[in-house]
Amino acid sequence: MAVINILSPHVADMIAAGEVVERPASVIKELVENAFDAGAKNITVEIRDGGATFIRVIDDGCGMAPEDAGIAFLRHATSKLHDERGLEAIKTMGFRGEALAAIAAVSHIELTTRRPEDTEGTYMALTAGEIREMEPVGCPAGTGITVRDLFFNTPARLKFLKSDRSEASACIQAALRCALGRPEVSVRFLRDGKEEFFSPGDGLPESCVYALLGRDLASSLLPCRSEDEGLRLSGFVSSPAAARGNRGAQYFFVNGRFIKSALLQSALEQAYKNTMLTGRFPACVIYLDIQPGAVDVNVHPAKTEVKFSAERQIFNLLYQAVQYTLQGEDRVITSPAAIEPSSVPASPEPAVPKPGFYQTKTAFEFRRESERHASPPSYGHTAAGSVAVNSRDVLYQTGEQLRLELSPAPAEPAVPAEETAVENSVQNVDASSVPDHKILGEAMKTYLLVEVGDQLVLIDKHAAHERMNFDRMKAQPRQITAQELLAPVTLRVSPEDLGLLQARASLLEELGFSVEPFGENAVVVRAVPADMLPSDAAAAVEEICEKLRGGRAPDPQAARDEILHTVACKAAIKAGWDTSPEERERIVREVLSGRVKYCPHGRPVSAVLTRRDLDKMFKRIV
Ligand code: ADP
Ligand code: MG
C-alpha cells in the first residue's frame, strides 16, 4: 500500500499557519504590512485582551474588488508577484501570498473592503479558511479585517500562548516596529479601547521616533546618515551615556521592513567600542535603503531576517556612520567672542566636507532646542550635526576640533615617535581648539569647576584622566613601560585564574605586567605598568582575572582593551586626591578640546550648566 499522501490544502494551510502565525503579534504584523502594501495613509490596530480573542486592523488603502476578496484567502494568492522575475525587484512587504490563508485557517475572520472607485464594498465572513458569508455592503474605502478566536481549532498552539499581558505587549511591539519603519503612515494602536500609541504619519522619522519611543529615549538619539554606492543610511543612534541594559531599543529597517541582523548589530556595537560598559547596549533606529536586488528578504517565513549580497560594504557603512556621529556628538562650547551669530546657518550645511557623509540638524533637534530655549541657542557652530542641548548631554567640542579629528584618517591614533609620546596627547592639543577658560577650583576633591564663556563646566577628574590614560596607552603599539616592584606581591588565585593568566602571559608582559605562577594557588607580581601605583598591583591583577574569567575578552584585541581599562583606571588620579594646578589644567584642556568625552566605560566626563540653567535655578528668569 502506498505510504505517501499529498496533504489536503486545508492541512497544508494549517502547517503554514504554524510558520507564519506564531501568536497574535504575528497576525498584526502581517495585517499591517498588507495595509502598507495597499498604500494606506492611516491604519488603526485594535486588540482586546492579549489579541487572541480579537484583533482588528482598519486601513484606508486601495481596497479589493469583490472577485479579489473572494480569492485573497487562498494559499499563494497574491497580487504582488506574477513570476519569478518579479522576485528580484520586490518592493512590497508581502509577496508570498500565504499570510491571509494562514491566519484564516486558524481563526474566524470578518472582512469589509471597498476600492475608492467602487460605490459598493464587500463583506466576507470565514471560519477556518472556509467562506461562510459573502455579500455587498456599504463601507468606507479601504479594508478592515477582524480576526477572532485565534487558534480556536488548534488547541496545542493556543496552549503555548503566554499571559494576555505578554501577548498584548508583543502585539504592541509588532505594530510599533511596523509603524517605526514607515514614518509616512499614521498608525494608531488601541488596546481594550485605550490608545497605546499613535504615530503622526508626517513623513519625518524624528517625529515618528519621538511619538513611538517616547521623549526620554528620543532625546538621547543623535542623527546618523551616510551613503555609499547603492546604499543609503539614515536614522539615529544613542549617545554612549544613554546606554541601556539590553538590545530592546535597537531597531533596524531595510527598505522599510523591520529586520533582525547580527551583521548590523555588530557594526553598531563595534562603533561604540570603549565608550560603553560591557553589558550595556546602544539604542538605534536605523533605516537602510538598498536596491531590492541586493538584499534577499525571502530567507525567513516572517521575513524578519534578510541576506545582504554586500555584507562588508553594509557593515562598513554603518560602522563608519555611527563612529562619525559619535565623534561629532557634543554640545559646542566656544568663548562668546568666537561666536558670530550671523554665521549660524539657518539650515545648517554639512560642517565637515567628507565624501559620503553628511549630517544636518533635524527637526527633532530643533524641537529639543525649542523646548529649552525660547530663542535660538546662543552658541554657534552647531552645524556639526549634534546639538545636545540638555545638561545631561555633556559633551562639547569646537567646530575646529571636529575638523581636526576628521581630516586625516580618523579611528587609529598616530603612532607616537618616542617614549616622550607619553605626554604628547596633551601637548598636541592645538591651542586654538581649546576655548578660553578659567579654572575656578575643585569641588569635593572630585569635580573641577571651569568657566567657559557663560557656561559652567564640571569635570569628573578621575573619569577624564582615566580616558586620557586609556587613549594614550592604546595608541602605544609597543611594550608599555614596566616598573619592577621593590617588594613583589604574592596573590592567591584559583587554579582557573592561574590558567587564564598564563594563557595571556605574553599580553600581560607587553602591557607592563610581570606575573609568575607561585605554586598551584598563587601568583607573584613582580612588575606593573609604570603609571600605576605599586600598591594597586594586587587589586589590578584580581580585576584582570575577573575580566578574563567573565569571558569578556574572547579575542586578543578585546583582552588588551579590557586590561588597558584596568590599568587606565588604576593609573588615573582619584577622587579625593589632591591634584596639582598643572594636572588640573592638563585635564581641563583635554576635555575642552573635545578629545575626551567619555571614560572607557562610557560614563560622561563632564557636565555643563549654562547661565540660562543657573538663571532659571535662581528664578532670575522663568
Ligand atoms: P501577500 O501580502 O504576500 O500578497 P497576503 O495573504 O498577505 O499575501 O494577501 C493576499 C492578497 O490580498 C494581497 O496580495 C492583496 O492583493 C490582498 N490584500 C490583503 N490585505 C489587503 C488590504 N489591507 N488592502 C488591499 N488588499 C489586500
Ligand atoms: Mg501580506
In terms of DSSP bridges, do strands 42-48 and 186-191 run parallel, antiparallel, or are they unpaired? parallel
Of the pLDDT bands very low, low, confident and very high (cuts 50, 70, 90), residue 432 is low
Farthest CA pair distance, the chain: 95
The one-character DSSP state at 91 is -
Q: Which atom of ligand 1 is nearest to the CA of 61?
A: 24
Closest residue CA from atom 2 of ligand 1:
94
Q: Tell me, using a 6 A CB cutoff, whether residue 72 lines ligand 1.
A: yes
Residues 56-101: tens digit of each pLDDT: 999 999 999 999 999 999 878 788 887 777 777 778 888 878 899 9
Q: Tell me, using a 6 A CB cutoff, whether residue 69 lines ligand 1.
A: no
Q: Which atom of ligand 1 is nearest to the CA of 103?
A: 6
Average pLDDT (30-39) is 96
What are the distances in angstroms from CA 239 to CA 269, 283, 326, 331, 369?
12, 8, 7, 12, 17
Average pLDDT (413-425) is 31
Q: Compute the mean pLDDT over every residue in the chain, rounded to the nearest whole number.
A: 81
CB burial readout 77-92, b (16+ within 10 A) else e: ebbebeeeeeeeebeb
Residue 471 carries which side chain, given as an amino acid letter? D
CA of 32 to the centre of ligand 1 (A): 10
Q: Tell me, using a 6 A CB cutoff, whether residue 38 lines ligand 1.
A: yes
Q: Tell me, using a 6 A CB cutoff, whether residue 319 lines ligand 1.
A: no
Q: Are 512 and 567 in contact (CB under 8 A)?
A: yes
CA of 25 to the centre of ligand 1 (A): 18
Q: Tell me, using a 6 A CB cutoff, whether residue 434 lines ligand 1.
A: no
Residues 308-365: tens digit of each pLDDT: 988 999 999 999 999 999 887 653 333 333 323 333 333 333 333 333 323 333 333 3
Q: Which atom of ligand 1 is nearest to the CA of 92?
A: 2
pLDDT at 155 over 70: yes
Please compute, for residue 227, the number of CA atoms within 13 A of its CA located in the half-sphere on the CB side.
8
pTM of the full structure: 0.66
Closest residue CA from atom 16 of ligand 1:
79
Q: Tell me, using a 6 A CB cutoff, whether residue 588 lines ligand 1.
A: no
Instruction: Tell me how far apart the terminal alpha carbons of the chain are, to the nearest angstrom.
Output: 89
What are the distances in angstroms from CA 32 to CA 161, 227, 250, 477, 570?
21, 29, 21, 53, 54
CA of 80 to the centre of ligand 1 (A): 8
Write down the pLDDT at residue 33.
96
Q: Of 148-162, 382-396, 457-471, 543-557, which range is least confident?
A: 382-396
Q: Tell me, using a 6 A CB cutoff, whether residue 78 lines ligand 1.
A: yes
Residues 76-85: tens digit of each pLDDT: 878 888 777 7
Query: In Å, how far from its chain's centre is CA 227?
Result: 18
Of the pLDDT bands very low, low, confident and very high (cuts 50, 70, 90), residue 591 is very high
Q: Tell me, using a 6 A CB cutoff, whether residue 95 lines ligand 1.
A: yes
Closest residue CA from atom 25 of ligand 1:
63
Closest residue CA from atom 18 of ligand 1:
34
CA of 34 to the centre of ligand 1 (A): 5
Average pLDDT (587-616) is 89
CA of 141 to the centre of ligand 1 (A): 15
Average pLDDT (163-183) is 96
Residues 472-494: tens digit of each pLDDT: 888 877 788 899 999 999 999 88
pLDDT at 388 over 50: no
Q: Tell me, using a 6 A CB cutoff, whether residue 34 lines ligand 1.
A: yes
Q: Of 33-47, 188-202, 549-563, which range is least confident?
A: 549-563
Ligand number nearest CA of 72 is 1
Top mutation candidate among 78, 95, 107 for ligand 1, by most atoms within 8 Å of CB? 78
What are the distances in angstroms from CA 303 to CA 51, 280, 298?
22, 28, 6
Q: Tell me, using a 6 A CB cutoff, whether residue 35 lines ligand 1.
A: yes
Strands (E) across 250-342 are located at 250-254, 257-259, 284-290, 295-296, 307-308
Distance (Å, whole) CA 622 – CA 617 = 9
CA of 62 to the centre of ligand 1 (A): 10
Q: Tell me, using a 6 A CB cutoff, whether residue 40 lines ligand 1.
A: no
- Give every CB contact of residue 582 below 8 A, 6+ residues apart in sequence: none
- 569 vs 421, residue with greater confidence: 569
Write down the pLDDT at residue 389.
28
Q: Of 207-211, 218-222, 558-562, which range is least confident?
A: 558-562
Q: Tell me, using a 6 A CB cutoff, whether residue 301 lines ligand 1.
A: no
- Quick check: helix, strand or coil at residue 513? coil
Q: Tell me, using a 6 A CB cutoff, whether residue 141 lines ligand 1.
A: no
CA of 394 to the centre of ligand 2 (A): 46
pLDDT at 471 over 80: yes
CA of 160 to the centre of ligand 2 (A): 24
Q: Tell me, using a 6 A CB cutoff, whether residue 9 lines ligand 1.
A: no
Share of the chain above pLDDT 90, in %: 51
Q: Which atom of ligand 1 is nearest to the CA of 99?
A: 6
Ligand number nearest CA of 68 is 1
Q: Which atom of ligand 1 is nearest to the CA of 35?
A: 23
| Grid coordinates given for 198 | 499613535
State the DSSP H helix or E strand holding residue 16, giving kind and residue range, or none if neither. Answer: helix 9-20
Q: Tell me, using a 6 A CB cutoff, whether residue 79 lines ligand 1.
A: yes
Distance (Å, whole) CA 558 – CA 562 = 6
Q: Are 464 and 606 in contact (CB under 8 A)?
A: yes
List, edge to edge, every strand of the sheet that includes 142-148: 130-137, 121-127, 108-114, 142-148, 54-59, 42-48, 186-191, 194-198
Residue 272 carries which side chain, given as an amino acid letter? Y
Q: Which atom of ligand 1 is nearest to the CA of 57?
A: 23
